[in-house]
């Protein structure tokens, strides 16, 4: 899957400007889906037909980024975050705009590094003054990390935007492997604006009206030095979510996932994430409620330009999702 992940992670797509990612995904899934359409926000729906119940599987296309708020007379650019990003992690990092313009972040002179916040940092795109800078960029332009994909020794990969382009990759690879006939209808949702509040999944779940929801996203790990203590580690299989700040996963959906993993000898972990959320948080409260769960890809250094995942975890996530979608899900009895 390395080539697929490389293509996805290196494509420009901060929240609100996911169109290049969407175009790439549509081209990769061409001929393998029964129905393809988009909505007004830019969500991409890839449907496989089948009987009830309807399952929505969602991964988000957007990545974190920055937005220009001011350009001074000397051509230096003030920026603000789009999604969860720490100002203290940015000095020396490179950013790229849609046009290809590159810049690096640095900060004003500080007495103490603890003073560093968004008011103290700026982006330098190498221009001598405001007029020259504004020939390349403008107020409101978005930029994302400029960091390429690399395969590491030991079967691991490093890149920006693993969150959540690896989720997109898992869904695309699953689509490739599914048989022609499925026991239920499935909608693969590639959502927008997850990083700024699960916005795309909110409207998409309302439109599609699924009976069940599954998010495919990355999760934090507890296997690095002095990391926050948690069970999830790289290389031990995909994590089956129990809860995060956005959702308490439905017991039935969680059991279906655990049983599918156990039956097919797929290694898995159980995930309790104390902060953060996924599209499942939006899907499960849509309309009158949607029993939902999540398959989480263990990922180190989430929301940095160098996120690290394990290739075996990705392969096992594909296998788990494939087994889930080719088994029979219980039909829901609605009282209205």
pLDDT of residue 40: 97
CB within 8 A of 93, min separation 6: which ones?
104, 105, 145, 305
Strand 185-191 and strand 54-60: the pairing is parallel
SS3 at position 180: coil
Q: Region 295-304: what's the mean pLDDT?
A: 97
> Does the residue 108 lie in any domain?
yes
- Is the backbone peptide bond immediately before 164 cis, with ω within 30 degrees of 0? yes
Report whether pLDDT(112) > 90. no
200 assigned to some structural domain: yes
Q: Domain boundary at 93, 121, 145, which?
A: 145
Residue 124 lies in domain: 65-145
Alpha helices in the chain (DSSP H): 2-9, 19-29, 130-133, 162-177, 199-208, 251-263, 280-283, 311-325
Residue 265 pLDDT grade (very low, low, confident, very high; cuts 50, 70, 90): very high
Q: Which of 33, 10, 2, 1 is nearest to 190 (CA)?
A: 33
Classify residue 153: in a domain, yes or no: no
Give the contacts of 86 (CB within 8 A, at least 6 positions apart): 303
Q: For position 111, what pLDDT does the model report?
A: 87
At 185-225, the pLDDT tens digits run 999 999 999 999 999 999 999 999 999 999 999 999 999 99
Q: Looking at the structure, do residues 26 and 92 belong to the same domain, yes or no?
A: no
Residue 72 maps to which CATH number? 2.40.30.40
Residue 214, CA distances (Å) to 40, 120, 309, 314 in order: 22, 40, 20, 16
Predicted confidence (pLDDT) per residue in 117-127, tens digit: 999 999 999 99
Same domain for 22 and 81, yes or no, is no
The domain tally of the chain equals 2
- As a whole number of Å, the end-to-end CA separation of the chain is 44
pLDDT at 198: 97
Residue 150 domain flag: no
Instruction: Supply the pLDDT for residue 193.
Output: 98
Q: Which of the following is catalytic: 18, 173, 194, 322?
A: 194
pLDDT tens digits, residue range 2-19? 999 999 999 999 999 999
If asked whether residues 108 and 59 sit together in one domain, one would say no
Evaluate whether residue 333 is within a structural domain.
no
Q: What is the pLDDT of residue 114?
A: 83
Q: Indicate whether 113 pLDDT > 90.
A: no
CB 146 within 8 A of CB 102: yes
Residue 277 maps to which CATH number? 3.40.630.10
Are residues 209 and 291 located together in one domain of the fold?
yes
Looking at the structure, do residues 139 and 169 belong to the same domain, yes or no?
no
pLDDT score of 336: 53
Instruction: Output the CA–CA distances (angstroms, integers) from residue 167 to 40, 62, 142, in the order listed.
Output: 22, 11, 23
pLDDT digit string, tens, across residues 241-258: 999 999 999 999 999 999
Asked if the structure places residue 278 within a domain, the reply is: yes
User: What average pLDDT score do residues 95-105 get?
Assistant: 97
Q: Are 57 and 91 in the same domain? A: no
Residues 208 and 262 in one domain: yes
When pLDDT is averaged across residues 272-295 and rounded to a whole number, the result is: 96
Whether residue 179 is found in the same domain as residue 287 = yes
Provide the pLDDT for residue 334.
64
Position 84 in a domain = yes
Does residue 335 sit within a domain?
Answer: no
What share of the chain has pLDDT > 90, as a percent?
Answer: 93
Q: How many other C-beta atoms lie within 10 A of the C-beta of residue 220?
A: 23
Average pLDDT over residues 62-84: 98
Contact 175, 32 (CB under 8 A): yes
E strand spans, 110-159? 121-124, 142-145, 150-151, 156-159
Whether residue 66 has pLDDT greater than 70: yes
Q: Same structural domain for residues 114 and 195?
A: no
Q: Which of 145, 171, 195 is the last residue in one of the domains? A: 145
The whole-model pTM stands at 0.96
| pLDDT confidence of residue 39 | 97
Claim to verify: residue 168 and residue 58 sit in the same structural domain: yes
Range in 32-41, 63-72, 73-82, 106-115 the model is least confident about: 106-115
Is 194 catalytic? The answer is: yes
SS (H, E, C) 156-179: EEEECCHHHHHHHHHHHHHHHHCC
User: Residues 126, 221: one domain?
Assistant: no
Distance separating alpha carbons of residues 97 and 294, to the nearest angstrom: 32
Question: Tokens in use for 83?
Answer: 């999604």
Same structural domain for residues 197 and 229?
A: yes
Confidence of residue 335 (pLDDT cuts 50, 70, 90): low
φ/ψ (deg, to 5) at 159 = -175, 165
Paired with 321 in beta bridges are: none
Average pLDDT, the chain: 96
């Amino acid at each position: 899957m390395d080539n697929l992940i490389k293509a996805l992670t290196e494509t420009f797509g901060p929240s609100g400007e996911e169109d290049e990612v969407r175009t790439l995904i549509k081209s990769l899934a061409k001929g393998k889906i029964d129905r393809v359409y988009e909505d007004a926000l830019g969500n991409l729906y890839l449907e496989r037909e089948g009987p009830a119940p309807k399952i929505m599987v969602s991964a988000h296309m957007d990545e974190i980024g920055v937005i220009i708020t001011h350009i001074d007379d000397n051509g230096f650019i003030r920026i603000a975050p789009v999604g969860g990003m720490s100002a203290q992690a940015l000095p020396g990092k490179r950013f790229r705009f849609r046009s290809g313009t590159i810049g690096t972040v640095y900060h004003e002179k500080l007495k103490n590094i603890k003073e560093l916040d968004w008011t103290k940092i700026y982006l330098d795109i190498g221009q001598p003054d405001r007029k020259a800078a504004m020939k390349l960029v403008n107020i409101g332009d978005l930029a994302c990390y400029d960091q390429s994909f690399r395969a590491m020794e030991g079967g691991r990969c490093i890149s920006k935007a693993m969150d959540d382009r690896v989720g997109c990759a898992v869904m695309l690879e699953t689509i490739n492997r599914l048989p022609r006939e499925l026991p239920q209808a499935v909608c693969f949702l590639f959502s927008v604006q997850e990083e700024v509040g699960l916005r795309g999944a909110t409207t998409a779940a309302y439109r599609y009206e699924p009976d069940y929801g599954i998010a495919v996203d990355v999760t934090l790990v507890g296997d690095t030095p002095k990391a926050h203590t948690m069970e999830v580690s790289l290389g031990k299989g995909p994590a089956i979510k129990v809860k995060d700040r956005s959702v308490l996963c439905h017991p039935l959906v969680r059991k279906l996932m655990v049983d599918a993993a156990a039956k097919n000898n797929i290694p898995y972990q159980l995930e309790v994430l104390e902060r953060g959320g996924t599209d499942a948080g939006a899907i499960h409260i849509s309309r009158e409620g949607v029993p939902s769960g999540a398959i989480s890809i263990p990922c180190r250094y989430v929301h940095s330009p160098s996120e690290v995942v394990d290739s075996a975890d990705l392969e096992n996530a594909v296998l788990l999702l494939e087994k889930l979608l080719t088994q029979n899900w219980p039909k829901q009895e609605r009282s209205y």
